[in-house]
Structure 1
Amino acid sequence: MNQIDNEIFNIKKIRIRVLEQVAAVTPFQDATMGPFPSFGISIITIEDEDGNVGEAPVYNTYTNILESCLFPILFHSHAVAYKDVYPKLYWSIRNEGFKGAASALLGQVDMALYDLAARRKNTPLYRYIGAERNEVKMYGSGGGTNYSLAELEREVQVFLDAGAECYKMKVGKDFGKKIDEDVSRVKFVQQLIGKKMKLAVDANQIWSCNDTFKFLDAVGEEGLCWLEEPLHSAAYEQIEKLCSKISVNVAYGESERTSKIFPTLVNCGVRHLQPVPTQIGGIKEWMDVRDLSKNQKIQFSSGGYSLYSTGLMTSADEEGMVEYLYSIMHGLEDYFLEYPTWKDGKFILSELEGFPVRINWDYCYKENKVIGEKVWERQHVQKYNPKVSM
């Protein structure tokens, strides 16, 4: 049984605060999205009757799902153990679907409750979930398809200086139409890093099998640590076909919102799983994928809001890695009082209770960085009334 199962959360207040976006170190673009000149974060804060709080990143544009499904259950589950509350939360989103925003929101609320539980026990989240080490490998991420060679070189040097073992760059430029340029950029980075770092590439689902074969023929499979999302994430037959014909590890999982799809990915031949804690339907679901990776002896990593992910990744195998998308994540550190630090290619966590990240709210309010805020209290939220499914 997970420690949180017997926790009781008598919730008094919930708020969501939207923080002003920060400028990217380098405006960032991938195969199909961007460029992103800035990036932001919104935080859900859940407070119990005793004033204990838990926080996590949250989507701020789907409050209708929170208000109609999740909050009524949270506010009106007084003196009920979480092992009985979570199933109600889970099934409340059934009609919204388990593959979209509703599932991610469920996971974000779940993260905040884990944070609350660990904080009120005055224990770091990583210890609360049973991990013993306070460090996790970091891999560098970036290499936007819009980067100049000089920008690529500067970013690669950041991660070399940080002692990262691996660097992941974007390919699939211009909606997959410039494979020759992708090849040229990859070879440029391979020359930069030599044997000092491994290299992975991410096509963000834009290629076909033939495109992928063309790319791999040009760069060589042996020079890649993994190939991430080369095909559409729902094209399972094509993924299976591709995996059967190449030797480099293929990675998927960032687009998934439920752990239940990951065994299918493994059966398709995927050898690197990448669940994102803030986008999957709860920490236990993330743990299911972690354990699947361990049992199948395949690569495992997590990204998203990397500094939050570190608190979970310490419970994974020591070869597990946290993705750090430096260009758009680095600026957010201005909002934190505490966060994990880099050392020799690893994130080192402090003994801060709860998640290893703490927002500096005094700074955010003083500098007018809170650009949106909404508060819900128990007396204003009616009990859950499920919609009838036709």
Structure 2
Amino acid sequence: MTTTDRIVRVRLSSVLLPLDTPISDAKVLTGRQKPMTEVALLFAEIDTADGLHGLGFGYSKRAGGRGQYAHAREIAAELLGEDPSDIARLWEKLVWAGASVGRSGLSTQAIAALDIALWDLKARRAGLPLAKLLGAYRDSVRCYNTSGGFLHASLDEVLANATAAVGRGIGGIKIKFGHPDARVDLARVKAVRDKLGEDVPLMVDANQQWDRPTAQRLGRALEEYALTWIEEPLDAYDHAGHAALAASLDTPIATGEMLTSVAEHAELIRAGAADIIQPDAPRIGGITPFLRLAALADHHRLQLAPHFAMEIHLHLAAAYPQEPWVEHFEWLEPLFNERLEIRDGRMIVPDRPGLGLTLSDRVPGWTADSCEFAS
């Protein structure tokens, strides 16, 4: 049966969400970046003639959020009058509307919010959670917390945060690495492992701060802690270096969050640079390209642990054939009325249609600009 429904309205909002505490990882301690004080979000809301509604979002940390919003404003009207079910074709149409600025990075990140809104709308039309629309393999996903382990936090704070997270039912703990003094890194991971014991999955994330010899040396030093993975030990585009580490260490290597297209991830996979791939749907252009990448990753028998945006990635991870992980960050919770349930080390896929999200009444206070296109 064909549908006669059509998109009649697209609304975009540029939202600047303040963080309670300035956030520092290795990129800050080594002078590459300043502490992060806010998350910039691009929200897209799509309405159809039949009264259906879809909500999607993308984000940027530090610079880039306003640029995403500006690009989305230029192309959003291309959706008016279109059948919202034709998501892959609409993704291509939006890409070609801004073809001169490329098919990766900021240009496709601007498309991500629109693409995610279309998938949310499609699942709501079907009356299904997005995970069920895609074809879920499970109704919950292993989850680990990252927000409590940043380098701006003292060791005592990291230990308290980790203990509290496990107490709330979160399954694993990731702490940030890449301190200018490697002895500080090693002391932190030893203390966390000693505190949590051997049974709690533990990961470390160096945020691209090591050179190859340092990564090899510290990777060997970390073997005794039975880590679930070492994340981004090298520059995100050093596929050969990551591949060498993956081949030489017992500890799995995870990377991919900084890549901004399926093509970039394909090069990473081709090089054998990761045991665990960490794509970010808003960064690579939305759910449509994420699904293409997930099929490629599964073909190569890679584990999956999507980066950030648990509100989206929970559904996508639930639809991945192999047992994945999803990353717990509470930062975006003030934006939504709903909360994701966590129990026995796993994040539960909500039974609400679509992503299962509605915007909270606090969002207008953080909205820097908005615009609307209507037919």
- For the aligned pair, the TM-score class normalised by the smaller chain equals 0.7 to 0.9
Matched, 1:278 2:276: no
Structure-1 residue corresponding to 2:31 = none
1:30 aligns with 2:25: yes
Query: Alignment partner of 1:54: what SS?
Result: strand
> What residue number does 1:315 align with?
319
Letter of the 2:156 partner, please give it. A
**CA-atom RMSD in angstroms:** 2.6
Change (3 A) 1:375 1:219: same
Residue 243 of structure 2 is matched in structure 1 by: 240
Q: Secondary structure at the match of 1:21?
A: strand
Give the secondary structure class of the aligned counterpart of 1:61. Answer: helix
Aligned partner of 2:365: which letter? K
The alignment partner of 1:56 has SS state of strand
> CA shift at 1:79, angstroms?
8.8
- TM-score normalised over the length of structure 1: 0.84
1:152 aligns with 2:147: no
Q: Is the 8 A contact 2:16 2:367 kept in 1?
A: yes
Cα-to-partner distance string for 1:322-380 (whole Å, 9 max, x where unaligned): 10134xx2xx32332223211111111332111132222xx327xx624334122235x
Q: What is the percentage of aligned positions where both structures have the same residue?
A: 24
Q: CA deviation at 1:133?
A: 3.5
Question: Following TM superposition, by how much is the alpha carbon of 1:198 offset from its aligned partner in structure 2, in angstroms?
Answer: 1.7
Distance 2:211 2:17 in 1: 35
Paired position in structure 2 for 1:111:
116
Q: Does 1:165 align with 2:171?
A: yes
Q: Does 1:125 align with 2:130?
A: yes
Is the Cα contact below 8 Å between 1:303 and 1:324 reproduced in 2? no
SS at structure 1 position matched to 2:217: helix
Whether 1:95 and 2:100 are equivalent positions in the alignment is yes
CA distance in 2, matches of 1:348, 1:322: 11
- Residue 378 (1) aligns with residue 374 (2): yes
- Retained in 2: the 8 A contact 1:253–1:275? yes
Using the TM superposition, name which of 58-67 and 273-282 deviates more. 58-67
Aligned pairs, how many? 362
Deviation per CA, 1:13-70, whole angstroms, max 9, x where unpaired? Answer: 222234453443x5431111453355464422122233322111234412332233x3
Unaligned runs of 5+ in 2: 29-33, 60-64
What's the counterpart of residue 387 of structure 1? none
1:137: Cα distance to partner? Answer: 1.5
CA distance in 2, matches of 1:293, 1:8: 36
Counterpart of 1:75 in structure 2 is 80
Deviation per CA, 1:91-138, whole angstroms, max 9, x where unpaired?
333321223111112222110111112223322212222226432221
Shift in alpha-carbon separation, 1:153–1:51, aligned structure 2, 3 A: same
User: Is the CA contact (8 Å cut-off) linking 1:136 and 1:318 kept in structure 2?
Assistant: no
Contact 2:166 2:172 in 1 (8 A): no
2:204 corresponds to 1:184: no
* C-alpha deviation, 1:272, in angstroms: 0.6
For structure 1, the 5+ residue unaligned runs are: 380-390
- Opposite residue 193 of structure 2, the aligned amino acid is Q
